[in-house]
Amino acid sequence: MLGSMASIIPNQKNAHHSIRQSLDSHDNVEVEAAIFAASHFSAQSRDFAAGICNKIGEMIQGLATPVDLKLKLIPILQHMHHDAILASNSRQVLQQLVTSYPSTKMVIVTLHTFTLLAASSLVDIPKQIQLLLQYLKSDPRKAVKRLAIQDLKLLANKTPHTWNRDNIQALCECALQTPYDSLKLGMLSVLSTLSASISIKQYFNPPPGAVSGAARYVDLMKLAQECSYHSHRGIAAHGVTVLTNVVTACQDIDLALEKDAVFGLESLLVLSSQDGSAGAQQTLKTALSCMVKLAKCRPYLSQSVVESLLTQLHSAQDSARIYLCHCLASVAMQLPVLGDGMLGDLVELYKVIGRSTTDKQELLGNHDMARELYQSLLTQVASEHFYFWLNSLKEFSLAEQCLTRLQEDDVGLALSAIADSLKSYHKGIASLTAASTPMNPLSFQCDFVKLRIDLLQAFSQLICTCNSLKTSPPPAIAATIAMTSGNDLQRCGRISTQMKQCMEEFRNLAVRYGDLYQSSFDADSATLRNLELIIPNDCQVRLSVVLLVPCQLRWLL
C-alpha cells in the first residue's frame, strides 16, 4: 500500500524511514514488501534514492544476502538516475555483479537493470551498447543473447544517435554468423529500427579522417539482401525494411539498391498476400508501407510499384485486398498522375467482386463502408451546416446497415433490427434539419427521410400484427360472433381489424410518396425514377401485406 502511494507522497520522511527499517527485518514477507516500496519511492524521490542507494548496494554485495533476495534488490538500481553521482555508483555495483555472478539469471537481471539505468540517466549509453554487443557476440547462452537483443532494441529506439559505425558493424556480423532464425530476427529488428534513424547516415558518412566504410557497407547490404528472400516472413520483412530505409535516407550516395529493394518487396508481397493469417497481414502492412515510402522518395520507381500492386490485387486474399487498395490510394495521393492508370484495373476488379458477392453482401449496398467514410469526413469541413449534413448521412448509412441483419423466420431479430434502424434515422433527421438553411432548406431530403421512417414503422407494426395471431388467437366463440354479426371476418378475431389498419397505413404511404413525386417534378431523372419504383398501387399494397401474413389469413385480403 505504501509503495503504491509513492507518487502521492514521494518525499514523506517517515515513510522513507519505515522502508529502511523494514529492509533490515528478519521477516521475509516484510523484506519483500519493503523492496517493492523502495523501488517505487526510488523512482519518485531523489532524496530517497540518494539515501537508499548505498544500503541497497551493501545488501546486494553482502555475503549474507541470499541470491534470490539479491535478484529482487538489483532492479531497484534502475531508478538511481536522478543525478550523475547516483548513476555512477549504481553502475559500479552492477559492473561488479556481472563479473562476480556469471549465472544466467543473475546476468540477465543485472544486464537489464544496467540498460534501464543507462536509458533513464542518458549516461554512458555507448559503453552499455558495447557491453550488450559483447555478450551478444561472446556469450553462448541463448537466453542471454535474447536479453541483449531486447535491450539493444530499447536503446535503438530511445537513443539511436549514440550508435556508431562499429556498433552497427558488430551487430551485422553477429546476424550474419548466427544459425538461429529467432536471434537473426531480433538482430534484424534492431537494424531495422536503426536504419530508420539518423544512425544510418552516420554509418554511410564517416567523420573526417575516418577509414572508408566500403567493407562495412558490404556487410550491411549483404545481410539485408540475403534476408529479403528469407523463408521466414518476419526476417524477410526486416530485410526489405532495411533496404528501403537505406535507399530513402541515402539519396546522395550512389547505391544501386533500388532494384534489390523493389524485387524484395515484390517477393514479400506475393508471399504475404496469399495468406490470411494475422502474421501474414502484419508482414503485408510492413511491405506496403515500404512501397509507399519508396514511391515517395524515388518517383521513377512508382510505376513498377503500382504494376506489382495491381497484378497482385487479382489473386490476393480478400483481407489483403483492402490493404493493397489503401496502398494504391496512398501512392495516387502522392503522384496523382498514376491514378488514371489504376482506374481500369480497379473497375474491372470491382465488376468481378460484384458478380461474385453473396445475397447478404448485395442487400442494401455498402452502407457500412459509407458510414466510415462519412465519419472520417466529419472533421474535414469548414461549416457546421456541412458537418450536420455529413453526420445525417452517417446516421442514415448506419440505419440501413442495421437492416442487413434481417433474416427469414426470425421475428424478434427483425423487430430489433428495425428498432435500431429507426433510432439512427431519428438521429439523422435531427442532424439533417440542423443542416438546412433559408437558402438551402433541404425540404425534399427531409420529406423523403420522414417517409422512410414511417415506412419502417409500418412494417414493424405489420410484423407485430402478424405475430399477434400466435400470442392472441381468436376466441372459441369467434365463429358464433361472426354468424351473429353477419361479418365473416370476425371468425379471425381482432387481427382482422389490425390488418385493415396496416393496409390503410400502407395506402397512406403510397399517397404520400405520390405527392412527393408530384411536388418534385423538377428533380433529376434518377431521383424521379427511384420514386417511381417506390410508389405502389393498390394491388401492390395488398401483395406487400399478403407476403407477411400467415397463410390462414391471406384469403381475407
Q: Which residue has the higher pLDDT, 483 or 451?
A: 451
Tally Cβ neighbours within 10 Å of residue 510: 18
pLDDT by residue (tens digit) across 135-150? 999 999 999 999 999 9
- What are the tens digits of pLDDT across the range 62-92? 888 888 899 999 999 988 888 888 888 888 8
Q: What pLDDT is attached to residue 416?
A: 92
Q: Is 535 helix (H, G, I), strand (E, B) or coil?
A: coil
Q: Report how far residue 505's alpha carbon sits from residue 216's, in angstroms, rounded to the nearest whole number.
A: 82
Torsion on CA atoms 439, 445, 448, 450, rounded to nearest 10: -80
Q: What is the pLDDT of residue 543?
A: 46
Whether the per-residue pLDDT at 445 is higher than 50: the answer is yes
- Give the separation between CA 293 and CA 305, rounded to whole angstroms: 11
Q: Is pLDDT of 167 > 80? A: yes
Q: Are 244 and 290 in contact (CB under 8 A)?
A: yes
* Separation of alpha carbons 501 and 495, rounded Å: 10
CA distance 389 to 382: 12
DSSP letter string over 282-338? HHHHHHHHHHHHHHHH-GGGHHHHHHHHHHHHTTS-HHHHHHHHHHHHHHHHH-GGG
Which residue has cell 487479382? 314
The mean-pLDDT minimum among 32-36, 343-347, 435-439 falls in: 343-347
Check pLDDT > 60 for residue 15.
yes
Cβ neighbours of residue 362 closer than 8 Å, sequence gap 6 or more? none
- Give me the pLDDT at residue 539, please: 45
Q: How many residues does the chain have?
A: 557
Residue 408: the pLDDT is 72
Does the pLDDT of residue 472 top 90, yes or no?
A: no
Q: What are phi and psi of 60, to 5 degrees?
A: -65, -40
Nearest residue to 61 via CA among 23, 92, 26: 92
